[in-house]
Amino acid sequence: MSVGAPKIPVVVAEVVEVNDLIKRFRFVRRDGGAMPVFSGGAHVVVEMDDHGVRRMNPYSLMSHPADTMGYEISVRRDEAGRGGSLYMHRHVKPGMEMVLSQPVNLFPLDARAKKHLMIAGGIGITPFVAQMAQVEAMGGRFELHYSVRSPVLGAYVEHLKAHYGPRVHVYHDEHGEKIDLQTLLKSQPLGTHIYACGPKGMIAWVHATAKAMGWPDRAVHSEEFLAPPVGQAFEVQLAASGKSITVQPNQSLLEAIEAAGVEAPYLCRGGACGQCETNVLRCDGHIEHNDHWLTDEQKATNTKIMPCVSRFRGTALILDR
Partner 1 sequence: MSLDFNDETFRGDFTFKNSAKAIKRFPFPFPEDSYMYSVNMEPHVPGPVGSVFEHMFDVDEHYVSEMRDRAQVLADDPLRCQSLPHMELAGWDLLELIMESKARDYPHWFSLTKDGNQWHWVNRPLQIEQKFTFLDASTLPYGPMEYITRQTQGDFTLQDQRDDDLWIEAGMVTTQADWSLDFDIGMSFKQWHAPVPLAHQMGIFDRALKFLLKLQHGAPVRRFNWTMTVDPLLDTSPENYPKWGPGKTTMTPQTIGHRQHLRVELQTLHRLPRSNAIAFPIRCYLIRFEELVTVPKWARRLHRVVRDIPDELATYKGFLRNKPLMLEYLAPFDDGQPTSPGFAPE
Partner 2 sequence: MIKTVFEPAIPSRPTYGVLTPGVGSAHLFVADGEGADAVCDLFAQGEGLKASSHIIYIPGANGCDRSAALQALGVPQFHRSPSFAAAQSRLAKVLADAHMGLQVYAAGTEGLMAQVAAAAQHAGLPYEAVQMEHRGSLARRVQCVHCKGVTENVTLDPFVCSHCGLSLFVRDHFSRRLAAFQGVNIDAEDPGLVPASVERFK
The CA-atom distances, in angstroms, between 49 and each of 45, 103, 112, 179, 195 are 13, 20, 41, 40, 33
Which of partner 1, partner 2, none does residue 238 bind to, with CB < 5 to 8 Å depending on kind? none
Out of 218, 261, 263, 295, name the contact with partner 1 by CB under 8 A: 218
Q: What angle do CA 283, 287, 291 make, to 5 degrees?
A: 135
Rama region for 287: left / alpha / beta (φ>0; ψ in -120 to 50; rest): beta
According to the binding rule CB under 8 A, does residue 209 interact with partner 1? no
| Residue (42 or 253) nearer to partner 1, CB | 42
Which of partner 2, partner 1, none does residue 36 bind to, with CB < 5 to 8 Å depending on kind? partner 1
According to the binding rule CB under 8 A, does residue 102 interact with partner 1? yes
According to the binding rule CB under 8 A, does residue 34 interact with partner 1? no
Count the Cβ atoms, other than its own, within 10 Å of residue 174.
11
Beta bridge partners of 2: none
Q: How far apart are CA 28 and CA 71, in angstroms?
A: 7
Which of partner 1, partner 2, none does residue 214 bind to, with CB < 5 to 8 Å depending on kind? partner 2
Out of 144, 153, 168, 273, name the contact with partner 1 by CB under 8 A: 273
Compute the Cα dihedral for 29, 30, 31, 32 and give only its sign. positive
For the chain, the farthest-separated pair of C-alpha atoms sits apart, in whole angstroms, at 60
Min CB(102)–partner 1 separation in Å: 5
Q: How far apart are CA 308 and CA 15, in angstroms?
A: 28
Q: How far apart are CA 276 and CA 44, in angstroms?
A: 16
Count the Cβ atoms, other than its own, within 10 Å of residue 238.
21
Number of amino acids touching partner 1 (CB under 8 A)? 29
According to the binding rule CB under 8 A, does residue 105 interact with partner 1? yes
3-state secondary structure of 172: strand
According to the binding rule CB under 8 A, does residue 191 interact with partner 2? yes
Out of 6, 52, 165, 214, name the contact with partner 2 by CB under 8 A: 214
According to the binding rule CB under 8 A, does residue 38 interact with partner 1? yes
Q: Which stretch binds partner 2 (CB under 8 A): 31-39, 49-57, 75-83, 206-214?
A: 206-214
According to the binding rule CB under 8 A, does residue 37 interact with partner 1? yes
Q: How far apart are CA 73 and CA 37, in angstroms?
A: 15
Residues that bind partner 1 (CB under 8 A): 2-6, 36-39, 41-42, 65-66, 102-105, 108, 110-112, 134, 137-138, 218, 267, 273-275
